[in-house]
Structure 1
């Protein structure tokens, strides 16, 4: 008969990665992850990934908008919001920002930081919260438990 040996205090995730972009579902995911981190005494890392498409760049250029500067401003504002909310519930949080494809960056950061779980918001595109979404890709391919928050 095998006897299971458990290390006290390490049954839950030690480090949680949450993807945030300022959308309502990502803020819900951030709140859920923060509560989980507080209850489990886990380290929480919030990741914002700035993206742009050729269409967005063309529109920004025609309007005379400097996209990188706006992305930096938005990331700073989002970072302040994340830190403020974490302070309200009494947890420490690490805010990371990257540029590129959100899926690739979440996978990269999760690997670099050796996280135990990923939390993301459900996509509201196409009417279905999972079809063709970042969440669906993560659920199908990630090596970590993925929680999708509506």
Structure 2
């Protein structure tokens, strides 16, 4: 994962495997290529209350969610490698348990991201900014792009 202040800038993008997030990932990779930046793809999943938990260095992670997060990470890694090959940009993956908007904002701040990119939600057949995108637009400390 790129360290803050090292080399090229970073474009952070939220990914959950949905078509909207894959559109956002493609857009972020194109932007990173133009800016000679790297892409940091972030997948976050809220930990459901009541599950057994264990504390590790990254915080409290649900045991049941951990295996699920590892499976998602493996699936997304394959997609990210294809994008790296097609567009010639470095793509890193971060998978964390927690509120998606909070995790995305925190990661973007940690790496001092140049931009934060998320996909639009689909509501009644129309693409709109969902709750994660809306919260990021209000609270992120870097520019936010919502990709249809």
The aligned residue for residue 19 of structure 1 is 14
**Bigger CA radius of gyration:** 1
How far residue 50 of structure 1 moved from its aligned partner, in angstroms, is: 2.5
Deviation at 1:67, TM superposition (A): 4.3
| Aligned pairs, number | 128
Deviation (angstroms), 1:54: 5.1
- Determine the C-alpha separation between the residues in 2 that align with 1:96 and 1:87: 19
Structure 1 range deviating more: 68-77 or 37-46:
68-77
Question: Does 2:102 match 1:104?
Answer: yes
What do you get for the CA RMSD once the two structures are aligned? 2.2
Note the residue ranges of structure 2 that are not aligned, 5 or more in a row.
1-7, 52-63
Contact 2:10/2:40, CA 8 A, preserved across alignment: yes
* Higher relative helix content: 1
Q: What is the aligned counterpart of 1:35 among 3, 9, 30?
A: 30
Corresponding residue SS for 2:128: coil
1:146 is matched with 144
Q: Which runs of 4 or more aligned residues in structure 1 lie more than 3 Å from their structure 2 counterparts after TM superposition?
A: 52-55, 125-128
Mapping of residues 48-87 of structure 1, within 5 Å: 48-53=43-48, 66-87=64-85
Residues 43 and 92 of structure 1 are in contact (CA less than 8 Å); yes or no, is this contact kept in structure 2? Answer: yes
User: Contact 1:123–1:134 at 8 Å: present in 2 too?
Assistant: no
More strand by share: 2
TM-score (norm 2): 0.77
Q: For 1:110-135, what per-residue CA distance to the aligned partner results, in whole angstroms no more than 9, with x for missing partners?
A: 1111111100001224666125x110
TM-score by length of 1: 0.76
Cα deviation for residue 44 of structure 1 reads: 1.3
**How much has 1:87 moved relative to structure 2?**
1.7
